[in-house]
Amino acid sequence: MTDERPDTPARPFSLDRRQFLLAALGGAGALALGACSSSDDSSRPGGGSASRPTLRLAHGALGFPSPFASNGGPGYNQMILLFDTLLWKDGTGELLPWLAKSHKVSEDKLTHTFELREGVKWSDGRPLTTDDVVFTFDYYAKNDPLSPPVIIQPPKGIAKVAKTGANTVEFTLDKPRITFAEQVAGAVPIIPKHVWESIRDLAGSLDPEVHLVGTGPYRLESYNDDGGPLLYTARDDYFLGAPYVKRIEMNNITDAFSGLLSGGSDVARGFGLRDDILAPFESNPEYGKITELGSFVTAQLYWNLGKGGALADPRFRQACVMAIDRKDLVTRLAAGKGQPGNPGFLGPQNPFRVPVRQYDFDVAGANALLDGAGYRMGSNGVRQTPDGKPLSFELRYDNADAVPLSELVIPALKRIGVEPRPKPALIGPELFGPKLFGGHEMAILPYPGPAPGGPNADPDVLREMFSSRGPAVSLTAANKYVNPTFDDLADKQLVTFDEAERRAIVTRMQQIIADDIPLIPLYYPESALVFRKRVLDQWYFTPGQFPTSEDNKQLFITGQKSGTKIR
């Protein structure tokens, strides 16, 4: 394999001047970074003699890439290139030994013992020790939860972390948790004790020389504030060997697909993409494409059950769902590439998903349901509750991405005598504040986390989204939904290690959610990722979408979809 430089590949169609200018503008920053690149490295200390590629990604910094200041999913991906976890997931979904070379679980599932690799070094040259691991979890536990969109939060349910040998660390849990390995050991970055032990201001620790000391496979060579370009270079002394991708350049390119065509980036991704966007890549063998249904950006319609009245009545919510043609949403808003939202919440590619009540598009049925529930149609076309209150609710949505969706959902609800009062808002406190603190009535929001993964994640996401025993404040969870049966099942699946038994529990949970419908995912657009094969050809969406999705460092380190062996 040869190093991919910004040469323009042959294409079966030509760009006109406008397209060329747009693409050239988008790629200019990345090309500028590329101009500073060193030549191919043909000597690999830890591996073979093949030269190693430079990878260019079409987005800039999302926050400062430390565990305490990186933003959201892509920000986590940028941070975890500098830090490591005890375990790490590859493209098959298997949790690989990472900083830990072995992981043992006691019979009662309460004790997890990790044996650390020897010879792992922090980027400042000091050795990684078991003290660092113990310190990391103590440190997270001592600190308050960080505000979203920082996704790494103090792990819950850990009673004690202790050093039990020169290279072994033992975690004792409050109670068994089936998600511990994936969501704690496989997600929480280990931080150096010698750097962080004296630091109290987590979010304000933004010195790249100090606060980005990690064991990760890359060093950050250039950081230019939030949103700016990032430049990573591989650590050839990495414990798995010199990473396959030698250099990673990240730069904001407004139109990633134009950037990919022009040679300014090597990957572009999007949701529900039009055919004309994909056509130039699908007809050119230089590019590859992978797709997935049901990743984390699914738009959802929320009702605030805490407001009472019709909002707390499942028949009302069921009627709303029946009034919305979710297949039509896929056709219009996802170019026909996707699936209607599932009232049972789990995504199309979630192995735990089971068929549940679907509420097909049926306006007459929805009207009949509301009639039967005592919501009489008023003379103004708005129904009223039996005690005379109009079914008129404020509907919040973001004033950019959700506008087309609102133009379809609002008329649909009006057809059954429900009056949504549009309240578009800028993404930020104006939009999210009422949802967080229960001030809204209805809302259309994307699914931005922080619940792990999304609809295709481990089914524990159902507990995160719908259990009334979860955090009181959540950007994504259903508001004030209380069903003790569901809550009991949610707690039980978390401690159930027998897969068949857990599957039965999760099936029942989905059925309850589909009947009660505390929120409805409106549609799942197909996620598509297009890439230049000559740079990396084994891209994948990480199964379960957690802790990362497509920018999995395992691929960058090994050049392959699975395992730790470097290509």
Partner 1 sequence: MTAPADPRLEAETPRPQRRPGPSVLRSPLMVVGLTVLGLLVFVAVFAPLLATHDPKVVTGAALERPSARHWLGTNDSGRDLFSQLVYGTRVSLLVGSVGPSLALLGAVMIGVLPALIGGRVDRLSNRFVVFLLALPGLPLLVLIGALVGQNQWAIIIVIATGGIAPNARILRAKALSLREAGFISAARGFGGGPFYVLRRHFVPGLGPLILVGFVTWASTAIALEAGLAFLGLGDPSGVSWGLMLERGLSQRSLYFSPMWTWWVLPPGIAITIAVMSFTFVGVALEPTFNPRWLRSS
Q: What is the DSSP letter of 121?
A: B
Please pick, from the candidates 90, 115, 182, 255, the single residue that binds partner 1 as defined by CB under 8 A. Answer: 255
* Closest distance to partner 1 from the beta carbon of 536 (Å): 22
Residue 179's nearest CA partner among 474, 554, 552, 491 is 491
For the bound state, the minimum distance from the C-beta of residue 299 to partner 1, rounded and expressed in Å, comes to 13
Residue reference for tokens 């900083």: 99
The whole-angstrom separation of Cα 555 and Cα 567 is: 10
Distance CA 184, CA 541 (A): 20
Cα distances (angstroms) measured from residue 169 to each of 48, 174, 227, 425: 34, 17, 38, 48
Exactly one of 22, 50, 95, 105 binds partner 1 (CB under 8 A); which one?
A: 22
Chain CA centroid to CA 422, Å = 28
Q: Does 295 bind partner 1 (CB under 8 A)?
A: no
Q: Does 147 bind partner 1 (CB under 8 A)?
A: no
| Alpha-carbon gap, residue 317 to 478, rounded angstroms | 13
Report which residue type is found at 23.
A
406 counts as binding partner 1 under rule CB under 8 A: yes
Q: Is 381 in the site for partner 1 (CB under 8 A)?
A: no
Q: Which is nearer to partner 1, 270 or 378 (CB)?
A: 270
Q: Does 424 bind partner 1 (CB under 8 A)?
A: yes
Binding segment (CB under 8 A) for partner 1, from list 141-149, 255-263, 445-453, 525-533: 255-263
User: Residue 127 has what DSSP assignment?
Assistant: B
DSSP string spanning 201-214? -STT---HHHHT--
CA–CA gap between residue 274 and residue 333 (Å, rounded): 10
Output the smallest distance, CB 116 to partner 1, in A. 45
The dihedral over CA atoms of 141, 142, 147, 149, expressed in degrees to the nearest 10, equals -40
- Applying CB under 8 A, does 25 fall inside the site for partner 1? no
Q: Is 175 in the site for partner 1 (CB under 8 A)?
A: no
Length of the chain in terms of residues written: 567
Coil vs helix vs strand at 255 = coil
Nearer to partner 1, 36 or 403 (CB): 403
Residue number with CB closer to partner 1 (63 or 525): 525
Between residue 311 and residue 340, which ones bind partner 1 under the rule CB under 8 A? Answer: 331-333
Q: Can residue 438 be called a binding residue for partner 1 (CB under 8 A)?
A: no
Out of 97, 176, 270, 314, point to the residue binding partner 1 (CB under 8 A).
270
Q: Of 32, 141, 166, 403, which lies in the binding site for partner 1, with binding defined by CB under 8 A?
A: 403
The one-character DSSP state at 173 is E
252 binds partner 1 (CB under 8 A): no
175, 157 in Cβ contact below 8 A?
yes
Residue 407 lies near partner 1 (rule: CB under 8 A): yes
Q: Which burial class, exposed, middle or buried, applies to 63 when counting CB atoms under 10 A from its CB (0-12, 13-18, 19+)? A: buried
Which of 487, 495, 492 minimizes the C-alpha distance to 513? Answer: 487
Q: Applying CB under 8 A, which of residues 168, 358, 385, 399 lies at the interface with partner 1?
A: 399
CB of 543 to partner 1, least distance (A): 26
User: Site for partner 1 (CB under 8 A): how many residues?
Assistant: 29
Candidates 89-97, 153-161, 277-285, 490-498 — which segment interacts with partner 1 by CB under 8 A?
Answer: 277-285
Residue 258 makes contact with partner 1 by CB under 8 A: yes
Where on the chain is the footprint of partner 1 (CB under 8 A)? 18-19, 22, 255, 257-258, 270, 273-274, 276-277, 279-280, 331-333, 399-400, 403-408, 411, 422, 424-426
